[in-house]
Amino acid sequence: MPEKRVVLANCGVIDPKDIASYIEKDGFKALKKALKLPGEAVVEEIKASGLRGRGGAGFPCGLKWDLARKAQGDEKYVICNADEGEVGTFKDRYILENDPFSLIEGIAIAGHAVGAKKAFIYLRAEYRFLLDLLEKAIDQAKKKGFLKHLDIEVRLGAGAYVCGEESALMDSIEGKRGEVRYRPPFPPTSGLWGKPTIINNVETLMNIPRIMFNGAEWFGKMGTEKSKGTKVFSVSGDVGKAGVYELVLGSSLKELVEELAKAKKVQAVQVGGATGRIIPANMLDSPLSFETILGAGAITVFDKSRDIIDIVYRTLEFLAEESCGKCAPCREGTEAMAGILERFTKGEGQEKDITVLGELADTMMLASMCGLGQAAPIPVMDSLQHFRGAYDKRIRL
């Protein structure tokens, strides 16, 4: 399947500093259309489109909105998660740099749909260089009268990977340490300051104006049965052309890394960042979709010269560092795994380590409070499954 620029349609086309160039490209027509409809009808349109969250978990967007819309209370919030901290991800940076207006339009439609009067964009501290551009874009939209129903405020993160996790992100906006919350309750019923809240990834919100403008039916024609639309990928590592690519969902990993990003002699690909899957070269034909492999779209390619165990060790070291520390399975499990893997990198593995890694993985997946700890064992278990030989060679008998 070919590259298709839906989310990125305006990137490199409009001037991100000038709202007039966006309006020329039918900008804010989707919002005007949405504002003429009751919020419920907008939610129904998004539901009908089959749009699923682009931040990694793939939750149906319309369903999330519906829950927040129906939740009791006048005070509701929309949050745009621009805390793009996943290792190997930079697509949201590219989107914010090139088309902040589509995002603002998407947030404005979301606010109307769920009945929120206040929205936050939570921007990671590393992207502070984009703050000015983003705030000026919001100002321009306000001056043009597009934001009469919704106040949008940018909140800056302060450097914490875990704040990309929605409950930690909300605690951070509330001014606290960014630690994850127990759930339920979920944000659509009890989110920011305990009020009904929808949190959507930048890319998810970018799809909203496209769906409202072209219709749910148009959107539903792209992709697979359970994965509609396109996905934006950040490709880096051992490739000839690192960068941002948008493909129709269901396209193959091979097409993305070999044909578009010009990777050669691929040994493995990490799909979805630090907590993502490790796909060996012989499985490159796998389609990219929610049914198969996807995550938030971070694609890191490793060629045949790389040591897979070193890569997995570095990944776990990262997760151990970024664990918020609130729950023991994640806090202790990531440390323990990193420790074992470090020994393997030095050729000092032990036979029983393999069993211990499996036991740690089971506990972490079952008992961690959030996605970080639940998914942290994935690279370890994937590499054990596909590259067991590399481990066996480092076991000291």
Partner 1 sequence: MSKIGKGTKPRSQAKRDLLVLLERAQSRSGYLSQETIAELAAALGLSISEVYGVATFYSFLSIKPQGRNVIRICKSLPCYLKDAQTIIDGVRKAIGIEPGETTADGKFSFELTNCIGACDKAPAMMVNDDVHGELTPKKISKILQAYK
Q: Are 97 and 285 in contact (CB under 8 A)?
A: no
Site membership for partner 1, residue 159 (CB under 8 A): yes
Q: Single out the residue of 17, 32, 176, 221 in contact with partner 1 (rule: CB under 8 A).
A: 176
Site membership for partner 1, residue 165 (CB under 8 A): no
Site membership for partner 1, residue 84 (CB under 8 A): yes
Site membership for partner 1, residue 243 (CB under 8 A): yes
Site membership for partner 1, residue 390 (CB under 8 A): no
The span from the CA of 287 to the CA of 34, in Å, is: 34
Site membership for partner 1, residue 321 (CB under 8 A): yes
Residues forming a β-bridge with 236: 300
**Size (the chain), residues:** 397
C-alpha 185 chain-centroid distance: 22
Site membership for partner 1, residue 306 (CB under 8 A): yes
Site membership for partner 1, residue 161 (CB under 8 A): yes
Which one, 158 or 397, has the nearer CB to partner 1? 158
Q: Are 138 and 152 in contact (CB under 8 A)?
A: yes
Three-state secondary-structure class, residue 222: coil
Q: Single out the residue of 242, 268, 337, 361 in contact with partner 1 (rule: CB under 8 A).
A: 242
Q: Single out the residue of 24, 26, 139, 174 in contact with partner 1 (rule: CB under 8 A).
A: 174
Going by DSSP bridges, is the β-strand pair 266-271/298-303 parallel, antiparallel, or unpaired?
Answer: antiparallel
Three-state secondary-structure class, residue 269: strand
Sequence-distant (6+) residues with CB within 8 A of 202 are 54, 80, 81, 82, 84, 92, 95, 96, 103
Site for partner 1 in 182-211 (CB under 8 A): 193
Q: Are 299 and 276 in contact (CB under 8 A)?
A: no
Residues forming a β-bridge with 247: 3, 231
CB of 120 to partner 1, least distance (A): 11
Site membership for partner 1, residue 99 (CB under 8 A): no
Which one, 105 or 317, has the nearer CB to partner 1? 317
The span from the CA of 176 to the CA of 187, in Å, is: 17
CB of 217 to partner 1, least distance (A): 35
Interface residues toward partner 1, by CB under 8 A: 84-90, 92-93, 124-129, 155-161, 172-179, 193, 234-238, 242-244, 270, 300, 302, 306, 311, 314-315, 318, 321-322
